[in-house]
């Protein structure tokens, strides 16, 4: 297989889908002539022109609304937020309009729009640019929420998202765009709602997504050295959730640690804790632990920043508490 970065894999997915379906277009700040703030849309304006790669003003609510309307009218827009932190300006369009369209139209209307862009923490971008907001969107019926962690998954899931008839929230890790991995040649699509067991194990289930996947895999390697065989499951999509994969793993290992960057209160990880406990309580040999980011705004100072998110060492420490 070829080795691509996540940035390159996403670019390839966009190019292929723009070529495959002339209803697809990309809209957002700096996506065209600047090649995207993170260069995910590099050279796309040269290939497809200004009618399909559309630069916008700084107006998230405006261009998100255009995307929702275009989707209802039969096109398949991809709306790029320069960062998901800025999506809060457009949350009315995403939550009140895109997510509700099919339900309120009794199935007569669809809204095939993909909202995508970088999220989560990255070095020294401080409190307003380092938030993990997935729980905001996973909370909403009608939205599908995808958070890939590898180039292969990023490409296959983005292609599936663009083809889906529902509104999609596609959150890419801002810190992982340069991470490389194997990507198959030729056409492939990864089904939405299917988790991936990145590392099999028998002693504890570690559930993770996006940036916490490499953290969890590094922790699993350290745990192996002390005789604990961790199963690392990358959820990939938070909504719909691969319930069967998760529950079967926990029934096998009898222990579970959830690793997330987000704040702990009302987070996706804390909901996941409740979900698992309600369904497989009798299989658990220890409490489910949810390892989250520190419950405060993200600092700018490096000396503070390094303590904010889970690390391989803190994941190992959490797992050891279960034995």
The 3-class secondary structure across the chain, one letter per residue, is: CEEEEHHHHHHHHHHHHHHHCCCEEEEECCCCCCCCCCCCCCCHHHHHCCCCEEECCCCHHHHHHHHHHHHHCCCEEEEECCCHHHHHHHHHHHHHHHCCHHHHCCCCCCCCCEEEEEECCCCCCCHHHCCCCHHHHHCCCCCEEECCCCHHHHHHHHHHHHHCCCCEEEEEEHHHCCCEEEECCCCCCCCCCCCEEEECCCCEEEEECCCHHHHHHHHHHHHHCCCCCEEEEECCEEECCCHHHHHHHHHHHCCEEEECCCCCCCCHHHHHHHHHHHHHHHHCCCCCEEECCCCCCCCCCHHHHCCCCCCHHHHHHHHHCCC
CATH classification at residue 154 = 3.40.50.970
Cα–Cα distances in angstroms (integers) from residue 18 to residues 47, 48, 73, 294, in the given order? 10, 8, 18, 40
| Mean pLDDT, rounded, for 152-169 | 98
Whether residues 176 and 68 share a domain: the answer is yes
Choose the catalytic residue: 129, 172, 179, 231: 129
Lowest mean pLDDT across 133-142, 175-184, 199-208, 298-307: 298-307
Give the pTM: 0.96
Which CATH number covers residue 224?
A: 3.40.50.920
On average, the pLDDT of the chain sits at 97
Which position among 60, 172, 231, 261 bears the catalytic label?
Answer: 60
Active site residue 60: yes
Please check whether residues 265 and 135 belong to one and the same domain. no
Q: pLDDT at position 305, please?
A: 87
Let me know whether 224 and 178 are in one domain: no
Write out pLDDT tens, residues 101-115.
Answer: 999 999 999 999 999
Same domain, 162 and 205: no
Same structural domain for residues 171 and 223?
no
Final residue in a domain of this structure, among 183, 210, 230: 183
pLDDT band of 306, cuts 50, 70, 90: confident
pLDDT at residue 121 tops 90: no
Residue 244's domain comprises 196-320
Indicate whether 123 pLDDT > 90.
Answer: no
In the prediction, which pLDDT does 28 show? Answer: 98
- Averaged pLDDT for residues 218-242: 98
> Domain for residue 256, yes or no?
yes
Q: What is the pLDDT averaged over residues 168-184?
A: 97
Residue 189 lies in a domain: no
* pLDDT at residue 126, as a whole number: 87
**Same domain? 178 vs 225:** no
Whether 129 is catalytic? yes
User: Which of the listed residues 131, 159, 183 is the one where a domain comes to its end?
Assistant: 183
- Structural domains in the chain (count): 2
Question: Taking residues 237-251, what's their average pLDDT?
Answer: 98
């Amino acid at each position: 297989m070829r080795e691509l970065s996540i940035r390159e894999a996403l670019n390839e997915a966009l190019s292929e889908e723009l070529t495959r379906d002339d209803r697809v277009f990309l809209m957002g700040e700096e996506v065209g002539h600047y090649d995207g703030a993170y260069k995910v849309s590099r050279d796309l304006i040269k290939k497809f022109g200004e009618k399909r790669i559309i630069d916008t003003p700084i107006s998230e609510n405006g261009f998100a609304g255009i995307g929702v309307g275009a989707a209802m009218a039969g096109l398949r827009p991809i709306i790029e937020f320069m960062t998901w932190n800025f999506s809060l300006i457009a949350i009315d369009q995403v939550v009140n309009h895109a997510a509700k369209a099919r339900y309120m139209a009794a199935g007569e209307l669809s809204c095939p729009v993909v909202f995508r862009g970088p999220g989560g923490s990255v070095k020294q971008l401080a409190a307003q640019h380092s938030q993990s907001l997935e729980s905001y969107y996973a909370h909403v019926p009608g939205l599908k929420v995808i958070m890939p962690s590898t180039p292969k998954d990023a490409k296959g899931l983005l292609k599936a998202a663009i083809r889906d008839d529902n509104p999609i929230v596609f959150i890419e890790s801002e810190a992982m765009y340069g991470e490389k991995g194997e990507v198959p040649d030729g056409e492939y699509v990864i089904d939405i709602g299917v988790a991936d067991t990145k590392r099999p194990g028998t002693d504890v289930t570690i559930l993770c997504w996006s940036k916490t996947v490499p953290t969890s895999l590094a922790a699993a390697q350290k745990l192996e050295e002390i005789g604990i065989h961790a199963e690392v499951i990358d959820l990939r999509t938070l909504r719909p959730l691969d319930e069967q994969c998760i529950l079967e793993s926990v029934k096998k290992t009898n222990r579970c640690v959830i690793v997330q960057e987000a704040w702990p209160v009302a987070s996706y990880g804390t909901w996941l804790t409740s979900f698992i406990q309600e369904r497989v309580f009798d299989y658990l040999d220890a409490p489910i632990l949810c390892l989250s980011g520190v419950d405060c705004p993200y600092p700018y100072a490096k000396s503070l920043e390094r303590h904010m998110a889970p690390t391989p060492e803190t994941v190992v420490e959490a797992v050891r508490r279960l034995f």
